[in-house]
Structure 1
Amino acid sequence: MMMKPLGSATHVMEETIEQVIRDAPLFKGGEGMEYGPVSGGISNENWRVREISGPGDWFVKVPGNGTEMFVDRAAAFEASQKAAAAGLGPRVHDDLAARGVEINDFIPDRRASTHSDFADPVKCGAAIAAYRKMHALPALRLTKTVFDMIDEHARQAADLDAPRFRDEAWIMLNEKMAREALLASGLDLVPCFNDPMPGNFMVGEDGSIMLIDYEYASMNDRCYDLGIWFGEMFFTPEQELALIEEYFGEARPEIVSRVIVHKALADVKWALWSMVQLRVSRLDFDFYKYGMWKLMRFRQISGHPDWPLHLRRL
């Protein structure tokens, strides 16, 4: 990672993090500090800040342009605090929390996971243990189900005149059928992570896993948390059954269907999110391609002959 001393900014994002370093009491005005970008995120501007000749080492998240449209920073800070207290996440500092800037202790003894890590059943088991711990946290003040997320992004996309999906009517009809079926069955609301990008799973040398980045955390259905993770990792049906059994102790048909339906809904949510980001983000990322890729999987799941069966047995 290329680190730079304070005062050497060459573009607007570096100017932003330098101002954060000067303003945060934790960094004592910035004297003797250096910083460098942390890659992997697609929402915010992520940085490592370090004392040049001292032990201080921190991760700093500067809110990405437009993220205030769908991230409640106070709720994210609360979730980060509760996760840290449970040993699930790193220590979080409140220096600039009022400005939405998140500062965590950097955890150099852990590395961000990759998709290939979760080909290992042992690491999958560690992730399931992390999810159990997440779902057992004290209740979060923010309740935001996948339906709340979809409705929010749909409104924002319309307001921003973002690109519309070619088969939008068909997609939203299937979303509506899934919504009605899940709401009729009742939602199992627990503190959920809601953002299983591989880089948000930090793997220790002992194989244990910590979770970072709680900005999308909320009270939500626990099967959404599992479904979106399964989709992100491209697990096979056999792997999914094994993980459902690991989490619940059994893989009853109605649980399997509940996870599959949530997996499909997660793709609608993130596809809409991508269209919003396309209009507001200043990050160098192909949000349109990302959103279209998500919809490919939604079409695959909802177009499968078993889709009506999954909706019936929720």
Structure 2
Amino acid sequence: MTRCVSFVTTLYNKAVFLPFVLAGLKAQTGPFEREFVFVDDGSTDNTVALLKELTEDWTDPVTIVEQENQGPSMASNNGFAVATGDLIKPVDGDDMLNPWCTAALLEAMEQFGTEIAHGLVSPETFDPTGKEPAEAFLERQVDPGGAPILYKNALVRSLQRSRTNPTSWLATADLVKRSGGCDPDIFIQDYSIELRLMHLAGKAAFTSRNIFVPPKEAPERLSGNEAQILHDLNMALASFLDENPLPLTQKFLAYRRALRRCWAWARRQKGQKTPFSKVHRAYLRVYFPFGISPDHIRKESTVFQQGARLRIPGAR
């Protein structure tokens, strides 16, 4: 049976990146059917008009969803909801897929019989405002090859490494549906859905091949807001721990990762370098973690809000 991949791309003021994003989507190789779902999250530039123009002659199904600005979590979930393929490939609106991306991920999934596979981001970047056309950039990309490997405990790997860019993974639509998608209470969607998927899947395939190329500079790229990223990583962990009764070893690993982020941020940004600082004392609790709860993560993560403007769904 021929597989069908739904490429779900979320967009917010991404007009300058569209030629590269679309070139990567169109260049995908492999023996599978494809559909393209684009969710515009209330763009105020000409993203939608340009998207319609550039995809007008595409022969594969194209669905464009337009919504008021709700953030990337809701945009992703709304895209997943209208996707009809048996596989889902998320794509951030400023990432360019390498031509072999989907085929490599699908090959890894099929080799190990997993519901999800993920790969690496390219060390190279593209310049959306440069002189080199997107197609020319793709033509000079070289597939490094490499055999995929299997992670037998995908959740532990995710807790240790937090590979949080959705553009790096491919999963079955059934797994995405069972996961509930992205946590709508967290602005940046990446880690919340990663934790859910890896927990449900149990095991995951990994390929060392470069899956996508990020932009050289993206003024509105969320990965540029470190405080928002670290805050949302911890909020995703706290919510995930509320939802799932994990073994103690995995709980302790999650607490250590979350509270260490708080301490490292306070030490670097706030100058709290002594072992007597409040944040450091909270971090040391993870070595005697009985009685600790996800609310401790939420409480200590307020350190990321000090001096930063974070987007928190539902907050006023």
Q: Normalising to structure 1: TM-score of the pair?
A: 0.30
Bigger helix fraction: 1
